[in-house]
Chain A
Amino acid sequence: MTVEVLRYCPAAPNGAQKIKYEIEANNQTLLEVLTAIKTEYDATLSFNSDCRSGVCGSCAMRVNGVEVLACTYKVHDGDTVEPLRNMEVIRDLVVDSDHALAFNKKAHAYGSVSAVTRNVTPEEEKVNELQSACILCASCYSACPVYEVNSDFLGPFALTRSWRYVSDVRESDVSDKIATIQDNGIWDCTLCNECVPVCPVGIAPKQDIVMLRNKSGVMGYMDPSFSANFGGGFGNDGTPDFGDPAF
Chain B
Amino acid sequence: MVAREILKELEQSGAVYLDIRHLGEAFIDEQLPQERKLAQLYENVDPVHELIPIKPAAHYCMGGIEVDAMSQTALSGLYACGECANHNVHGANRLGGNSLLEVIVFGHQAGEYAARYAQEHQNTCNPNEQFQRDKNFIEGIKYFTNQIDFYEKHRFMGNIFYNNAAIIREDKGLKAVLAAVRQLQQELPFMGPKDKSRTYNTNLIEFIEFGNMVELAEVVLVSAISRKESRGAHFRSDAPQRDNERFHAHTVAWKEDGVLCLDFMKGAL
Task: Judge whether A53 and B195 touch: CB under 8 Å.
Answer: no
Task: Judge whether A91 and B200 touch: CB under 8 Å.
Answer: yes
What residues of B have a CB within 8 angstroms of the CB of A94 in the complex? 200, 202
* Interface: A20 (CB within 8 A): no
* Interface: B151 (CB within 8 A): yes
Task: Judge whether B199 and A44 touch: CB under 8 Å.
Answer: no
* Interface: A104 (CB within 8 A): no
Give B196's nearest chain A residue, CB to CB. A44
What residues of B have a CB within 8 angstroms of the CB of A9 in the complex? 197, 199
Task: Judge whether B41 and A72 touch: CB under 8 Å.
Answer: yes
Q: How far is the CA of A191 from the CA of B147 in the complex (A)?
A: 56
Size band of the interface chain A makes with B: 10 to 19
The listed residue (B38, B41, B44, B200) touching A46 by CB distance below 8 A is B200
Which positions 64-96 of chain A face chain B at CB distance < 8 Å?
72, 90-91, 94
Q: How far is the CA of A46 from the CA of B37 in the complex (A)?
A: 28
CB-CB contacts of A162-203 with B at 8 A, as 1s and 0s? 000000000000000000000000000000000000000000
Give A94's nearest chain B residue, CB to CB. B200
* Interface: B194 (CB within 8 A): yes
* Interface: A11 (CB within 8 A): yes
Q: How far is the CA of A10 from the CA of B199 in the complex (A)?
A: 8
State whether A11 and B203 are in contact (beta carbons under 8 Å apart), knowing that A39-B151, A43-B194, A72-B41 are contacts in the complex.
Answer: no
Task: Judge whether B199 and A11 touch: CB under 8 Å.
Answer: yes
Q: How far is the CA of A44 from the CA of B205 in the complex (A)?
A: 12
Q: How far is the CA of A117 from the CA of B96 in the complex (A)?
A: 27
* Interface: A38 (CB within 8 A): yes
Minimum CB–CB distance for B36 against chain A, Å: 12
Q: How far is the CA of A72 from the CA of B38 in the complex (A)?
A: 9
Task: Judge whether B202 and A46 touch: CB under 8 Å.
Answer: yes
Which positions 8-63 of chain A face chain B at CB distance < 8 Å?
9-11, 27, 38-40, 43-44, 46-48, 53-55
Chain B contact residues, CB within 8 Å of chain A? 34, 37-38, 41-42, 44, 151, 193-195, 197, 199-203
A selection of 6 A-B contacts at a CB cut-off of 8 Å is: A9-B197, A38-B202, A43-B203, A72-B41, A90-B199, A94-B200
Identify 17 new A-B residue pairs, CB closer than 8 A, beyond the known A40-B151, A46-B201, A91-B200.
A10-B199, A38-B202, A39-B151, A43-B195, A44-B195, A44-B197, A44-B203, A47-B202, A48-B202, A53-B38, A53-B42, A54-B37, A54-B38, A55-B34, A90-B199, A91-B199, A94-B202
